[in-house]
Structure 1
């Protein structure tokens, strides 16, 4: 996937639980790409969502000539028309297409035009970064209009949930406004109401007036706002101490299987898991702020055994005195290894099994017999040895 001004052109690859490639979808959406660039595959990087009907949703950015005089631009300006497609991964058939330009006014954008709006740098007025399905409807997020759109099966907008005004829902609850948001997801969908979570960036480097601490929000909303429907209810408002400020990216999952919550913070490369009450249970960091980013993060139970790789074994001297050796074994991607069988070869002995070492996390260490000239290990899964490493000399 090539990244260009936060826009991507690439393919979608689906793997099985042995990390074998099952499907590669390389869509050609007939896009216009700035500077006459061409890309064989044109799926964008912002969203790939597997639906409950065995299809997937993917975003795309199409450079489109548009009148920008309403934004103090030129009549022959250029914008990114934000699209999404629903695709059958088995046949590559496009089942549905939606265009932001066909349904939303450019003047709804909060993104400054600045020096953009030309053929080389189109105006990113909408910035689609999330799309999911809700039955036969779609939930689409626009970062730059501060709005989440609920579309019917034809693509028409049933309602807007706007972060500054509430959109079709009216005034938002106290502490319930949002801006530049990411990763809205529906939960507990019932006949007339559902819960909506989102990652509220709440600030943007181009907007000096909106430098606020980033937070996460969960609302309870009526499926169809209108006279007599319940007003939006703010269920959760999760903050951080000290505060974090994420200009872009980020994700929030309020309903992990253990009852906790998970958030990632975009270009601030933190992952945080919170208890149900919002207390931080653990924090991880992917690297220095200027060098690492986490667009989205997930925590799920995953079971897999690689079919095309083998365990990696390293044998090193035991400390500076070199009085013996230790082996260190890993098998990246293998989730269900319970133990390692240790085999050694000596100068006057053939290959022998000398013991079994219980799995001790990502890297397991063990002592190598003093008479060994080479070492090999085997991964044990469900009581059966499934794969061996290569031999390593001592």
Structure 2
């Protein structure tokens, strides 16, 4: 297929300043990567995006609602106000694990705080890390495995992007959905301690769409930046810019860039389904590509999704060339009935020459292209005949039309977990799925976030959290009795609580026990204390941790 040589001069000049080809320990050679003569010392974790990027428009940040029926509030954790989801369907057969989302909003108000949220099937929070502003977001929040090659250890971690997303009208300097400068990726261990923060190179900004830890001890992610360009030949402004995207790979131990692939070097922006004239509403920056996912194949090849091209590209890591293109104006494949897709997200390799994605299918279709109802999609790829056909589809009831975002996650036993992107739902289906107008078939789980709250992606994953900090407690006087509220943000092993009371902090004794009843458990006692403490118990009754000693507050 055409490699876009007429616009490759800028990239060729930039690539000539790099160190050529390098090799990682696994023996794969990567084109266009940079490795210094001496590796630097491992970078210590440093915080990023603790305040939002300065707005470029006049509207304030979305209004924050921290009370009411759509918000959780806790006596023992008064600073936490996560959203309260409504579980609309829950049947037998769901995969094990909790649910991971990064709630935020693209319109006002935000019901509950933005941040990173782990929930139970019931909707009760397990762990919540709030952000201080509704103009800050977390994205791609999930469980991954961190391979530390120095210690030869592999450990489960939490990862996410943190920063500000360009959401008009507050941010009009970049196309909607682009990352504002100042963000990074966070890596937290199972004790909820910061292990790593990862930043982009080449002057690019870390992008919220993808962050993958590899077995090589590296991180693969998308990075973006505007490249000044005369856009008149594409129908845009003379003094414009194109939002370029790179796949970057960084060594987690040294922080050095070991691989990069720039989409502008290989894909003609003229093939975009977004008009360059749209740059007039985003600071002169044209979002021709909107790269939004990366996946790594068994032989090191990469699968890259470009939303605004309606295409996915299989890329050779050895020479950076596009081996084939699925979808878009230069597709190497034809499509069977209902197999074509538009504005797609989360394109993944699947076993057996299949590919999955979330097909947004709408909106703002160019040239009269009909809208499609958003759905999870798994395609069979026939390489011999260069044809893609439908393997399975996953539709929602009621029908949903998501203008952006979304994902289709493979779960054990074939189940599929769907995050509905710009719609406030996430769902789980048995593998056979369903068809359009039959969205309840094989539905196992469905939940709705409150108001206009959404999450870029949603996942179901297993996680064992062992907080380094102690449980929380708060006591309240209720006439002749006292009620002690107990919680431990992030503890997945707590099954019950032990209540201690006494007339002096050094004279406490056990006065009660209770099973854990969600994020916060209330333990009532006739003991007047006035000093109280709670201890978290595991399934065998062993003490996991103890709160500080508290006295009633009223």
Fold in common (TM above 0.5): yes
- Aligned counterpart, 2:462: 301
Question: Which among 394, 400, 420 is matched to residue 265 of structure 1?
Answer: 420
Structure 1 residue 266: deviation in Å?
1.5
Stretches of structure 2 lacking an aligned partner (at least 5 in a row): 1-162, 167-175, 434-441
Q: Distance in 1 between matches of 2:511 and 2:269?
A: 71
Kindly indicate whether residue 528 of structure 2 is the aligned counterpart of residue 371 of structure 1. Answer: yes
What does 1:156-195 align with in structure 2 at a 5 Å threshold? 156-162=321-327, 167-170=331-334, 172-188=335-351, 193-195=352-354
RMSD between aligned residues: 2.5
- Aligned counterpart, 1:341: 498
Structure 1 residue 163: deviation in Å?
5.7
- Aligned counterpart, 1:362: 519
- The secondary structure found in structure 1 opposite 2:459 is coil
Q: Deviations over 1:164-207 (max 9, x none)?
A: 78x2122x12111110000111122xxxx422110000002475
Structure 1 residue 103: deviation in Å?
0.2
Q: Distance in 2 between matches of 1:90 and 1:361?
A: 38
Kindly indicate whether residue 331 of structure 2 is the aligned counterpart of residue 331 of structure 1. Answer: no
Q: Deviations over 1:343-380 (max 9, x none)?
A: 11137992112243233332223222343323210112
Structure 1 residue 120: deviation in Å?
3.0
Question: Which among 153, 164, 173 is matched to residue 2 of structure 1?
Answer: 164
Q: Deviations over 1:71-110 (max 9, x none)?
A: 2234553211111101111111111111111100111100
Kindly indicate whether residue 377 of structure 2 is the aligned counterpart of residue 212 of structure 1. Answer: no
Stretches of structure 1 lacking an aligned partner (at least 5 in a row): 32-41
Structure 1 residue 152: deviation in Å?
0.3
Q: Distance in 2 between matches of 1:209 and 1:195?
A: 26
Q: Distance in 1 between matches of 2:278 and 2:387?
A: 40
Q: Distance in 1 between matches of 2:291 and 2:508?
A: 59
Q: Distance in 2 between matches of 1:353 and 1:273?
A: 43
Q: Distance in 2 between matches of 1:337 and 1:49?
A: 30
What does 1:7-86 align with in structure 2 at a 5 Å threshold? 7-8=178-179, 9=181, 10-31=183-204, 42-74=205-237, 76-86=239-249
After superposition, the Cα gap between the structure-2 partners of 1:230 and 1:62, relative to the gap in structure 1 and judged at 3 Å, is closer
Q: Distance in 2 between matches of 1:326 and 1:386?
A: 22
Aligned length, in residue pairs: 367
Question: Which among 79, 95, 102 is matched to residue 265 of structure 2?
Answer: 102
Q: Deviations over 1:113-145 (max 9, x none)?
A: 234169933100000011121131111000000
Structure 1 residue 52: deviation in Å?
3.3
Q: Distance in 1 between matches of 2:276 and 2:422?
A: 23
Larger displacement relative to structure 2 (125-134 or 363-372): 363-372
Question: Which among 237, 240, 256 is matched to residue 393 of structure 2?
Answer: 237
TM-score by length of 1: 0.85
Q: Is the 8 A contact 1:344 1:375 kept in 2?
A: yes
Larger displacement relative to structure 2 (136-145 or 69-78): 69-78
- Aligned counterpart, 2:310: 146
Kindly indicate whether residue 429 of structure 2 is the aligned counterpart of residue 246 of structure 1. Answer: no
After superposition, the Cα gap between the structure-2 partners of 1:326 and 1:105, relative to the gap in structure 1 and judged at 3 Å, is same
Q: Distance in 1 between matches of 2:281 and 2:520?
A: 52
Structure 1 residue 259: deviation in Å?
3.9
Q: Distance in 2 between matches of 1:30 and 1:163?
A: 29
After superposition, the Cα gap between the structure-2 partners of 1:277 and 1:390, relative to the gap in structure 1 and judged at 3 Å, is same
Q: Distance in 1 between matches of 2:494 and 2:364?
A: 46
